[in-house]
């Protein structure tokens, strides 16, 4: 497969996503022409070298989800200052979803807005996190509560960079693939890896183009994420973290997979879907080799507390749920119903 260009159509903020083997060769073509300097935000574990075509400073950020914080944003912005990065220069996020979230948010703040280009090197980042302009960091109170919409100048999804991914990163990306199966990409498993990435990027690009700032339709991209973010906030999941003793740490996509099964069971509890549709969710998640039950030690009331703080919520419990008209936002869900379904998912 040759490199495919997928446009994200947002008027003056439109940009291209380059997908396929060898896409890195197109990096210089999407760096803003006015830029005279680049700062690459990355992690020590990312085994990918890039050439921005500009004098470049590299800033490494920690691996841990706990360090996806305002303190890290300060550290990155101070590195921008040390590099004398101007408003007309460029930030490059090189890595997975944690990197693109941090790099994008720091760029949105620097001089009140500096261009950012993302080079996504994990499956999760290529099919989801690097596209769409959502950036942010965590607080102790919840996942991604502080952030900004800041569209990149372009995104590189070179599938050759996935060759060195450890198995846990593949599982994390497969969780997002499972999500897309219920948003209009049912036959992903019949495609090559490059075609899967391109299909997910195209699907997300279409949704983002219709609803850039998550006022309505874009919220469906959070399918499975309400519980996933609660599990992350509780310490069970993320890039790295410390869950309760005896629990296995989950990657983000694994938490999303559990969230998909939870959302399906909650939709059935509310009379929105039937048993066959729930079984389909369980089948897709199992087909990707992903978990479908809560980790040992999960506290139902704690998880509900974190879900109340979800960005979709309006002083209520709000979920993205399947139904007769497809996946959509459902507000003011009963806490009792949520608790009952969470209890069903205990191992």
Domain boundary (167, 184, 210) is at 210
Considering the domain architecture, whether residues 255 and 188 belong to the same structural domain is answered as no
Whether 17 and 6 have beta carbons less than 8 Å apart is answered as yes
Residue 198 and residue 312 share a domain:
no
Q: Do residues 63 and 131 both lie within one domain? A: yes
In this structure, is residue 109 part of a structural domain? yes
CA 35, 159, 149, 243 torsion-angle sign: negative
Among 154, 175, 172, 152, smallest CA distance to 162 is for 172
Written as six digits, the tokens of 97 are 């979803």
CATH of the domain at 272: 1.20.1090.10
Q: What is the DSSP letter of 144?
A: E
Angle at 264 between CA 284 and CA 303, to 5 degrees: 110
- Residue entry with tokens 């550290």: 75
Question: What is the total count of domains within the chain?
Answer: 2
Catalytic residue numbers read 112, 134, 176, 204, 214, 218, 222, 225, 229, 252
Q: 């919220």: which residue's tokens?
A: 219
Best CA proximity match to 156, nearest among 261, 31, 246, 60: 31
Q: What is the pLDDT of residue 237?
A: 78
Which residues, other chains included, contact 206 with Cβ-Cβ below 8 Å and sequence gap of 6+? none
**pLDDT score of 275:** 98
Q: Which segments of 148-251 does DSSP mark as H helices, in order?
A: 167-180, 193-210, 225-233
Q: Is residue 97 part of a domain?
A: yes
**Residues 232, 314 within the same domain:** yes
Q: What is the pLDDT of residue 245?
A: 44
Residues 262 and 305 in one domain: yes
CA distance 201 to 179: 13
Give the separation between CA 322 and CA 313, rounded to whole angstroms. 17
3-class secondary structure, 214: coil
Q: Is residue 144 part of a domain?
A: yes
204 and 260 within one domain: no
Do 100 and 186 lie in one domain? The reply is: yes
Reference 332, options 347, 342, 319; nearest CA is: 319
Together in a domain, 86 and 232: no
d(CA 122, CA 129) in angstroms, rounded, equals 10
The CATH number of the domain where 121 resides is what? 3.40.50.1970
Both 171 and 272 in one domain: the answer is no
> Which residues span the domain enclosing 296?
223-344
Is 331 buried (19+), middle (13-18) or exposed (0-12) by CB count in 10 A?
exposed
Contacts of 95 (CB under 8 A, 6+ apart): 41, 42, 43, 46, 119, 120, 121, 122, 125
Examine the domain organization and report whether 316 and 202 are in the same domain: no
**Does residue 104 lie within any of the structural domains?**
yes
Question: Does residue 138 form part of some domain?
Answer: yes
Residues of the chain with pLDDT under 50: 240-243, 245-246
In a domain, 275, yes or no: yes
The answer on 326 and 204 residing in a single domain is no
pLDDT digits (tens, 9 = 90+) for 10-55: 999 999 999 999 999 999 999 999 999 999 999 999 999 999 999 9
pLDDT of amino acid 316:
85
Q: Which of 166, 185, 210 is the last residue of a domain?
A: 210
Domain end marker among 189, 210, 231: 210
**174 & 229 share domain:** no
Is 258 within the bounds of a domain?
yes
In a domain, 215, yes or no: no
């Amino acid at each position: 497969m040759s490199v495919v260009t997928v446009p994200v159509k947002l008027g003056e903020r439109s940009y291209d996503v380059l997908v396929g083997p060898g896409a890195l060769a197109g990096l210089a073509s999407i760096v803003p022409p006015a830029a005279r300097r680049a700062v690459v935000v990355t992690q020590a574990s990312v085994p990918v070298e890039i050439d921005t075509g500009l004098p470049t400073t590299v800033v490494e950020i920690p691996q841990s989800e706990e360090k996806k914080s305002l303190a890290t944003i300060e550290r990155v912005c101070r590195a921008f200052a040390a590099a004398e990065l101007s408003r007309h220069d460029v930030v490059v996020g090189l890595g997975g979803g944690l990197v693109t979230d941090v790099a994008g948010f720091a760029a949105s703040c620097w001089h009140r807005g500096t261009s950012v280009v993302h080079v996504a090197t994990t499956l999760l980042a290529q099919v989801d996190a690097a596209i769409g302009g959502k950036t942010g960091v965590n607080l102790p109170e919840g996942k991604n509560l502080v952030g900004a919409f800041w569209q990149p100048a372009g995104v590189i999804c070179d599938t050759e960079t996935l060759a060195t991914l450890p198995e846990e990163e593949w599982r994390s990306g497969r969780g997002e693939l499972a999500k897309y199966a219920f948003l209009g990409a049912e036959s992903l498993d019949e495609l090559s890896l490059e075609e899967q990435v391109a299909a997910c990027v195209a699907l997300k690009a279409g949704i983002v183009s219709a609803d850039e700032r998550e006022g309505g339709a874009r919220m469906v991209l959070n399918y499975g994420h309400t519980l996933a973010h609660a599990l992350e906030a509780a310490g069970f999941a993320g890039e790295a973290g410390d869950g309760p003793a005896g629990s296995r740490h989950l990657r983000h996509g694994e938490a999303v997979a559990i969230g998909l099964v939870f959302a399906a069971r909650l939709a059935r509890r509310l009379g929105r879907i039937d048993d066959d549709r729930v079984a389909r969710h369980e089948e897709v998640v199992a087909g990707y080799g992903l978990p479908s039950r809560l980790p040992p030690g999960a506290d139902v009331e704690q998880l509900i507390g974190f879900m109340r703080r979800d960005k979709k919520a309006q002083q209520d419990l709000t979920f993205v749920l399947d139904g007769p008209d497809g996946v959509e936002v459902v507000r003011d869900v009963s806490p009792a119903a949520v608790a009952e379904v969470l209890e069903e998912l205990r191992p």
